[in-house]
């Protein structure tokens, strides 16, 4: 059972590879059926607690024994990859999981690692830092945009991408397009050559359910899928020079919580009232209830509006999202309460599956034959 792997950066060859089994996964299908039996009651309680038919389908799918096997074998191999690299003298210091679907894989990795630490299986290995990049198959524009790349590099900093210590993780690799795009971007911006690996051999069941909330995050495109002008506005912002994007970031962060009001007022005064730049003074904004405005802030927003001709008075939120998402390279929080509820239920069940798996593994190791009837006996 090999996992698709790219070594030595973007130009590396895609190979099938399996890490040495320092942590032994279960190999018996009956053992995975036992894990399912240990969590089925909890899954049924979650199903009873919701009317969301799509969530119910996903709950039923995730507790199938072969899906549990796919998750646990893949994540165990990922952990073994970390151990293998550490023993080879090239420890992984930062793991970059590719949003959106790999976000759930990161949760499984983190939870399984913590559970294995509790039973003493990982006492001598340090867990890498976990970061995320929003990389998809169709969003190639941001990879050539100066503004997006500048915001990405500013957000991550060189210290988070040490030479030889970065591993890119995608939940599933078919052609390798997404993972190669991530490698190329990191290589170009941080001058390193990371390795990359698929976490799972099979496509996980949550793949593609971006609007259901299962991954815990979303992105700008999904949030604004009904705004036919959103892509054009974002593309205009991506065309900013690097220094303009970074200056804009400082203004957005400085006026966090009130940026939209500051932007809307600037737009209104100049483009609706027709006031000249010299009339737009910090004192004028203060009189309108907007504090802490400087001439530099006004100059930057004035410049952004002029350079991005498709922006209008109500687009302060678009600018904020552009900055907060590093030009589209970072995912966005879920917007709806029902999505967050779905994610909480889903992750709670995943944690129970992982705990049941670790318990069943230790029972096998210690020749214990009595299987708990419920996951509640584990906690």
Domain residue ranges of the chain, discontinuous segments joined by +: 3-216+336-377, 223-324
pLDDT category of residue 52 using cuts at 50, 70 and 90: very high
pLDDT category of residue 147 using cuts at 50, 70 and 90: very high
94-99 and 3-6 as β-strands: parallel, antiparallel, unpaired? unpaired
**Residue 239: both structure tokens together:** 């065309």
The mean pLDDT value for 299-312 works out to 88
For residue 101, pLDDT beyond 90: no
Highest mean pLDDT among 188-197, 207-216, 242-251: 242-251
For residue 358, pLDDT beyond 80: yes
Least Cα distance to 314 among 274, 261, 245, 359 occurs for: 261
**Residue 141 or 64, more confident:** 64
Between helix 316-324 and helix 259-267 the angle, nearest 10°, is 130
pLDDT category of residue 100 using cuts at 50, 70 and 90: confident
| pLDDT given for residue 375 in this prediction | 54
Q: 190: helix, coil or strand? A: helix
Instruction: Tell me the C-alpha distance between 288 and 283, whole Å.
Output: 9
The CB-side HSE value for 72 (13 A sphere, CA atoms) comes to 34
| pLDDT given for residue 180 in this prediction | 87
Specify the residue for token string 């036992």.
Answer: 34
Instruction: Tell me the C-alpha distance between 204 and 32, whole Å.
Output: 16
332 close to 321: Cβ distance less than 8 angstroms: yes
For residue 378, pLDDT beyond 50: no
| pLDDT given for residue 294 in this prediction | 96
| pLDDT given for residue 266 in this prediction | 93
In percent, the amount of the chain with pLDDT more than 70 equals 88
For residue 139, pLDDT beyond 70: no
In percent, the amount of the chain with pLDDT more than 90 equals 55
**Residue 231 or 226, more confident:** 231
| pLDDT given for residue 282 in this prediction | 94
Q: What's the chain's Rg over C-alpha atoms? A: 24
pLDDT tens readout for residues 243-271: 999 999 999 999 999 999 999 999 999 88
For residue 299, pLDDT beyond 90: yes
pLDDT category of residue 379 using cuts at 50, 70 and 90: very low
The mean pLDDT value for 225-238 works out to 76
pTM of the model: 0.89
pLDDT tens readout for residues 171-183: 888 877 888 888 8
Least Cα distance to 104 among 340, 336, 346 occurs for: 346
| pLDDT given for residue 51 in this prediction | 92
| pLDDT given for residue 366 in this prediction | 65
Instruction: Tell me the C-alpha distance between 42 and 375, whole Å.
Output: 7
Highest mean pLDDT among 98-112, 200-214, 240-254, 330-344: 240-254
For residue 208, pLDDT beyond 70: no
Long-range contacts of 113-117 (CB under 8 A, 24+ apart): 113/79, 115/354, 115/355, 115/358, 116/23, 116/79, 116/358
The mean pLDDT value for 20-29 works out to 92
The mean pLDDT value for 300-326 works out to 90
Work out the mean pLDDT of the chain and round it to a whole number. 88
């Amino acid at each position: 059972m090999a996992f698709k792997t790219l070594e030595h950066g973007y130009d590396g060859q895609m190979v099938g590879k399996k890490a040495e089994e320092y942590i032994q996964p279960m190999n018996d299908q009956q053992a995975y059926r036992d894990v399912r039996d240990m969590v089925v009651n909890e899954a049924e309680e979650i199903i009873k607690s919701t009317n969301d038919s799509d969530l119910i389908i996903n709950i039923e799918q995730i507790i199938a024994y072969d899906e549990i096997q796919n998750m646990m074998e893949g994540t165990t191999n990922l952990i073994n990859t970390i151990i293998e690299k550490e023993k080879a003298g090239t420890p992984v210091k930062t793991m970059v999981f590719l949003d959106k679907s790999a976000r759930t894989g990161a949760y499984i990795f983190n939870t399984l690692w913590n559970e294995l630490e509790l039973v003493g299986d990982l006492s001598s290995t340090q867990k890498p830092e976990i970061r995320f990049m929003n990389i998809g198959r169709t969003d190639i524009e941001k990879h050539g945009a100066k503004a997006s790349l500048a915001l990405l590099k500013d957000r991550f900093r060189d210290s988070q991408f040490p030479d030889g210590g970065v591993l890119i993780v995608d939940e599933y690799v078919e052609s390798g397009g997404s993972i190669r795009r991530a490698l190329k971007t990191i290589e170009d911006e941080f001058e390193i050559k990371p390795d990359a690996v698929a976490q799972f051999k099979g496509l996980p069941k949550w793949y593609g359910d971006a609007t259901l909330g299962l991954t815990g995050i979303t992105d700008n495109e999904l949030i604004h899928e009904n705004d036919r002008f959103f892509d054009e506005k974002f593309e205009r912002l991506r065309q900013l020079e690097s220094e303009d994007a970074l200056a804009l970031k400082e203004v957005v962060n400085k006026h966090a919580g009130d940026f939209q009001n500051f932007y809307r007022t600037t737009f209104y005064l100049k483009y609706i009232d027709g006031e000249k730049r010299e009339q737009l003074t910090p004192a004028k904004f203060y009189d309108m209830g907007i504090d802490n405005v400087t001439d530099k802030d006004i100059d930057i927003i004035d410049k952004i509006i002029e350079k991005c001709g498709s922006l209008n008075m109500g687009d302060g939120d678009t600018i904020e999202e552009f900055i907060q998402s590093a030009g589209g390279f970072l995912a966005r929080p879920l917007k709806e309460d029902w999505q967050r509820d779905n994610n909480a239920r889903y992750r709670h069940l995943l944690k129970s599956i992982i705990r049941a798996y670790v318990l069943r593994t230790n029972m096998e190791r210690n020749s214990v034959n009595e299987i708990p009837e419920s996951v509640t006996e584990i906690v």
